[in-house]
Every structure is written in structure tokens, then in C-alpha cells.
Amino acid sequence: MSSIDHVALEKRVDALFAKYARAGSPGAAIGIMREGEIVLAKGYGEASVEHRVPITPRTVFRIASVTKQFTVAAVLMLAREGKLKLDDPPQKYLPDLPALPKPVTLDQMARNNSGWPDFLELLRLGGSNLD
């Protein structure tokens, strides 16, 4: 791996996130990786402004559906590179994923028409409090 100036990187990222670093400000957690290694992980601002809980690299956020667009973009990039096929079932790449009675493809999952049950609704029906 080529050398990274960690001090310069952190200063640059700190400058980008300065408005989130103030006390009483909602913020963000960031992670920067290069060649499979974490080169910077840092939190800015507060996870709970009311309770003054700072954000750290280990803060868990409820991001819900925000990840879908990034996941689909990554899948499409891999398909374009020939590393996967959109007509394949997800279990080909995630063998621990349980099979469903109806076959599903990556393409169907990317288009949100896989026929898979609504996961959050199943959790609610099972008594989970998602608030």
C-alpha cells in the first residue's frame, strides 16, 4: 500500500465536517478505507443532542432504506465488470441467505420486486418495537 499522510487526511476531513463537530450539533460518523485497510474512522457531533451523546466510529445509526441505492450501485458495478450476473439468485453470493419458496434474482431485488416479505412488518408482527 502506498503511503498516506494520516495527519493531512485527518485535517482535511476535519475541515469538511467542522460544522458537525460543534457541541449540540447532530453529526456523522465516517470511515475511509484504502486497499482493505481502515485509514481513518471518526465521529463528529452528537448522536443524541438531547442527552449529549457524542458520535464515535462505533455509533450505530438507523439508516433503513438509505443503503439500498449504494448496494444497487455496487451490484451494478460488479455486473458491469462481469463479477456477478443479475439473473443469479442472491444465495450464489450469500450462501447463508435462506431460500424462499419463490426463486428470486439479484435483478428483482435491485428493482424491489422480489416478492420477499416486508422485513420490518414481520418484526412488528413479532412484537419488536422499532421506534
Structural domain tally of the chain? 2
Please identify which of the residues 11, 19, 68, 85 carries the catalytic annotation.
68
Tell me the chain's radius of gyration from C-alpha atoms: 19
One domain, residues 73 and 120: yes
Residue 130, in any domain of the structure: no
One domain, residues 117 and 94: yes
Task: Examine the residue annotation and report whether 65 is marked as an active-site residue of this protein.
Answer: yes
Q: What is the pLDDT tens value at each position of the chain, 131 positions in all?
A: 468 899 999 999 999 999 888 878 888 999 999 998 999 999 999 999 899 999 999 999 888 778 889 999 999 999 999 999 999 998 899 888 877 778 889 999 888 887 766 667 766 776 777 66
For 104, the domain range is: 66-125
* pTM of the full structure: 0.57
Q: Distance between CA atoms of 111 and 39, rounded to whole angstroms?
A: 34
- Phi, psi angle pair for 55, to nearest 5°: -85, 135
One domain, residues 77 and 115: yes
Q: Distance between CA atoms of 49 and 108, rounded to whole angstroms?
A: 39
One domain, residues 49 and 80: no
